[in-house]
Structure 1
């Protein structure tokens, strides 16, 4: 990512784009201003990215709007840059077609936003003849890559990474002879072969096709892509011995990734070729299930290599750690999902003392975490999750060094030791890791109390997960944390009996798990407003009481929202605002009424899974199922429902599982249920429903 951004910055500067320069004298063209306002109409701007895009007398000049740059002489829009981030992004319908009037645009960046309309790249994208920079990565694009992109003869930068694009790469992209940067990675449905026309891309410096489903031979020969410095290939491409000659000719190559390549591990000739690059390479990524390092493996040492990814291999022996001593200047090391056993050598941190990222998750490592890791003062991210590491966590934290009197591991922002066998109490000195943004210690054997002083100094904390430990959180009722969390996981910790009032201060929560936390209290009304930003909430297995208020809440998240409130004492009606979530589990409560939820004003068709089993629901089944035709799973078992199944249930055309057992339903199954052609499971045992031979039984399994 760092390489990608630095190259993009270079290209923007080369192209004459400078984010610090303002088009103060430019007056935007009225037609183009209206185009921007029309584009804005389909968007949801929860974070205020477009707050300056206003249609009033004080904002007539769109050249002064955020993300816009205009030509100083003509007033035409040159740049539209609405790149999102983790905290600030647009949702809704990102309508590229509505931008058709911006024919003078040279730079378009809509990356890292979230389109919810299953948008495809329109064919008229080829009409933006002046485009030199196009970034549509991470926005949820679907469909094929249109061949019309090959008409953008001035294009130098094209990034379509991490979407849902499918089909073959159009050969017309080989017409983009000015292209310097091409990233189609992580579109897993892109298939076929690399077009041989890519040989024409003589100016290409960056090519990333990792995470696609491309197959077949690599079409390049000696002399092709002569100034390439970054090459990332993956999946089912077939590397043959002849390809090593081409690789050997890439004298500018500094970043190489060969992930899940056929024959990678067995091609010693290829590995020797790669070895020759080590004196020049800065980044190397090799993931292949047959790639191993043995005690006899030899390799040229390298002082230039700063990033090494050997994840998803068959590395087993701890010999790998000694092999890594050939690369003492490494800054990033990833060994995820191998078969590593034994312990991390005690001296590892003393030799590898320039590391910024150390990621050895999902292995079989044992023993204590060596104290020498605490000597790596440059360390920013340490991920050791899902191993069998043991020892007292207090002993580990105490071994973290003070670095040049600037603090204890002064650069550490992410610490993940989850799913190990760590024991003991978390020391208050963990609060000396002042730069921590993410702390994951879930699923260990930690115990003791967590009080305010543990966390007070962690002002940058955004993720905290202590789930699955024997910890008690003892905070005062008036405590106001110094941080704002996005992720909070405290499942199976002791929070209760009172509802934790300090959560009210957390206005950015997106993930919350306080299940099985010993809470025996009423849920305060303010809490339900948190659902406007949360995508996953779990408060099951407590003793939550009272009713859920029917608040006029509109959920702004544009992806699946999960809410688990099962195994509590909640009662009364289900408010209609909860129909906006995708997965709702209210089983094992005291809910008594369905009608407002299913038939009330504001009911929506977003729900996929609904579990209301084991409640106290009485009366007839609602007769307004047309509002919920997205349902796939519906469980109303173990209630007190009576009467007949209404014919409107035939509108549940996506339903796969319907469970009605242990109620008092009567009558015949409606013939219209045969319209529910997706139904696989229908459980109505212990009811008085009648099945006729000519009913819809043939359409599903009982």
Structure 2
């Protein structure tokens, strides 16, 4: 095995210690051992392999000693979801400690260590010492608490920083301001609070920003619109408030915009028409009012549109002069999911439903829609899997053409004033599903 370059043992049922013989594969560049039950320590000989670039020990039962005191060429070491128990040996006293300690001055020159989902805790300031060559640092899903480690600000070449799913708290970390090369920053699922500061604009190369599931308050700072390379802005599940500013249209590179589960109010700004690369727009669970601007349906790359649980008003017809939603959505061939539920929308919806030819999930429930459903054209909804029109004011006969929607798995027309019954195909309910009039679930 002296010429072995790639060894993939992942997703098996292997258990016990890792074979020492792996450390004799001198040309090994990639080692994949994730999702097994390997235990004990990683043999130090593996870290001596001169050509090793990528190691993945995710989801095992490995315990790990302090990184060996020699240099290796590894670019990526991943230990996500392992049961990593730091085991530090004090050579002066021969004592074993469970507390992380500073790595030796000649420690591994790692460019991309991933130690996600371990049980790292203790002195956070000494986890990676002065590893200035780091380009990716993943400390997610650990037990980090308190403020951000001070050493973070010295990692000038860092491009990807992931600290999600810890117990970090306090204001937005000022240490991040000096990380001018960051492309991706994830602080989600912590307890950070206060305002999102203007210093965020110093991260000029940032493409992905995820501050979701924290306690940030106030509005989105205008300075964030200077991040013209931003493709993903994810701020959901915070305590952000105020109006959505028109300047959000300056973020023309956005692919994902998720501001859901906050306290934003006012109307959806017309400037959203400039976000022509958007694939996902989620403004749900806020306090937005007014009508849905027609420009939302001119975003031709949109795949997911979530505006539910607001106080949006107005009909869904083709009258764009009044700011209503256009029925001609021929450009929205990628739109797979639409959710306008739990608003105050009203008027007829037949034309709009027929325009969603490529949609897989359509939820217009819990509004004030009225009128009848379209007749013989529903079979054109060939991709529809979920259609929820429940709790509106719809009436008339239920079209038999629903029978042509072959992919339907959920049809909910309950809570309306329909006459008759569902088409015969939908009258047999599985035994494990509750029986609700005008509702069928596969």
Shorter-chain TM-score: what band?
0.7 to 0.9
User: 1:215, 1:238 within 8 Å by CA — same for their partners in 2?
Assistant: no
SS in 2 for 1:367: strand
Q: Choose from 431, 434, 442 the match for 1:585.
A: 434
Residue 257 of structure 1 pairs with residue 138 of structure 2: yes
Residue 290 of structure 1 pairs with residue 172 of structure 2: no
Partner of residue 682, structure 1: none
Q: Choose from 392, 404, 407 the match for 1:530.
A: 407
Q: Choose from 328, 333, 338 the match for 1:464.
A: 338
SS in 2 for 1:275: helix
Partners of 1:357 and 1:382 in 2: CA distance: 6
Residue 341 of structure 1 pairs with residue 217 of structure 2: yes
User: 2:137, 2:160 within 8 Å by CA — same for their partners in 1?
Assistant: yes
- Identify the range of structure 1 (381-390 vs 431-440) with the bigger mean alpha-carbon deviation: 431-440
Q: Choose from 194, 217, 223 the match for 2:64.
A: 194
Aligned residue runs from structure 1 range 147-296, under 5 A? 153=25, 156-157=29-30, 165=35, 167=37, 169=39, 171=41, 177=49, 179-185=52-58, 187=59, 190-191=60-61, 193-194=63-64, 202-216=72-86, 221-222=103-104, 223-240=106-123, 243-244=126-127, 246-248=128-130, 250-266=131-147, 271-277=149-155, 279-287=156-164, 288-293=166-171
Structure 1 residue 521 displacement after superposition = 1.3
User: 2:341, 2:363 within 8 Å by CA — same for their partners in 1?
Assistant: yes
Structure 1 residue 390 displacement after superposition = 0.5
Partner of residue 451, structure 1: 317
Structure 1 residue 537 displacement after superposition = 5.8
Partner of residue 271, structure 2: 399
- Which segments of 5 or more consecutive residues in structure 1 lack a partner in the other structure? 1-126, 402-407, 551-569, 592-608, 611-702
Q: Deviations over 1:169-227 (max 9, x none)?
A: 46467665465323455x5xx55633668889934311233455544456994344324
Q: Choose from 383, 390, 400 the match for 2:258.
A: 383
Partners of 2:192 and 2:439 in 1: CA distance: 53
Structure 1 residue 414 displacement after superposition = 1.4
RMSD (CA atoms): 4.1
Cα gap change, 1:514 to 1:134, in 2 (>3 Å): farther
Residue 332 of structure 1 pairs with residue 213 of structure 2: no
User: 1:340, 1:365 within 8 Å by CA — same for their partners in 2?
Assistant: yes
Structure 1 residue 476 displacement after superposition = 3.8
Partners of 2:56 and 2:28 in 1: CA distance: 13
User: 2:375, 2:399 within 8 Å by CA — same for their partners in 1?
Assistant: no
Cα gap change, 1:467 to 1:242, in 2 (>3 Å): closer
User: 1:348, 1:373 within 8 Å by CA — same for their partners in 2?
Assistant: no
User: 1:365, 1:387 within 8 Å by CA — same for their partners in 2?
Assistant: yes
Partners of 2:391 and 2:103 in 1: CA distance: 61
Cα gap change, 1:513 to 1:392, in 2 (>3 Å): same
Q: Choose from 471, 482, 485 the match for 2:359.
A: 485
Residue 359 of structure 1 pairs with residue 234 of structure 2: yes
Structure 1 residue 303 displacement after superposition = 2.5
Structure 1 residue 584 displacement after superposition = 1.9
Partners of 1:366 and 1:284 in 2: CA distance: 27
Partners of 2:45 and 2:336 in 1: CA distance: 45
SS in 1 for 2:254: coil
Partner of residue 69, structure 1: none
Cα gap change, 1:498 to 1:159, in 2 (>3 Å): farther
Aligned residue runs from structure 1 range 606-625, under 5 A? none
Count of residue pairs brought into register by the alignment: 408
User: 1:255, 1:283 within 8 Å by CA — same for their partners in 2?
Assistant: yes
Partner of residue 370, structure 1: 245
Partners of 2:253 and 2:358 in 1: CA distance: 25
Q: More helix per residue: 1 or 2?
A: 1
Structure 1 residue 378 displacement after superposition = 1.6
Cα gap change, 1:496 to 1:169, in 2 (>3 Å): farther
Larger Rg over CA atoms? 1
User: 2:361, 2:387 within 8 Å by CA — same for their partners in 1?
Assistant: yes
Partners of 1:365 and 1:322 in 2: CA distance: 15
Structure 1 residue 421 displacement after superposition = 0.8
Q: Which structure ranks higher in relative contact order (CA pairs < 8 Å, sequence separation ≥ 6)? A: 2
- Identify the range of structure 1 (200-209 vs 459-468) with the bigger mean alpha-carbon deviation: 200-209
User: 1:191, 1:215 within 8 Å by CA — same for their partners in 2?
Assistant: no
Q: Deviations over 1:361-395 (max 9, x none)?
A: 001111101221111122221110000100012xx
Partner of residue 114, structure 1: none
Partners of 1:510 and 1:159 in 2: CA distance: 38
Partners of 2:363 and 2:438 in 1: CA distance: 23
Q: Deviations over 1:607-654 (max 9, x none)?
A: xx99xxxxxxxxxxxxxxxxxxxxxxxxxxxxxxxxxxxxxxxxxxxx
Partner of residue 317, structure 1: 194
Partners of 1:528 and 1:150 in 2: CA distance: 59
SS in 2 for 1:317: strand
Partners of 1:366 and 1:209 in 2: CA distance: 38
User: 2:290, 2:313 within 8 Å by CA — same for their partners in 1?
Assistant: yes
Please, what TM-score do these two structures have when normalized by structure 2? Answer: 0.76
Q: Choose from 132, 148, 155 the match for 2:6.
A: 132
Q: Deviations over 1:426-464 (max 9, x none)?
A: 122223322222211111111222236353332322222
- Identify the range of structure 1 (300-309 vs 334-343) with the bigger mean alpha-carbon deviation: 300-309
User: 2:252, 2:275 within 8 Å by CA — same for their partners in 1?
Assistant: yes
Partners of 1:502 and 1:447 in 2: CA distance: 27
Partners of 1:484 and 1:304 in 2: CA distance: 40
Partner of residue 183, structure 2: 306
Partners of 2:265 and 2:303 in 1: CA distance: 24
Cα gap change, 1:355 to 1:135, in 2 (>3 Å): farther
Aligned residue runs from structure 1 range 537-576, under 5 A? 538-542=412-416, 543=418, 545-546=420-421, 549=424, 574=428
Cα gap change, 1:198 to 1:546, in 2 (>3 Å): farther
Cα gap change, 1:501 to 1:400, in 2 (>3 Å): same
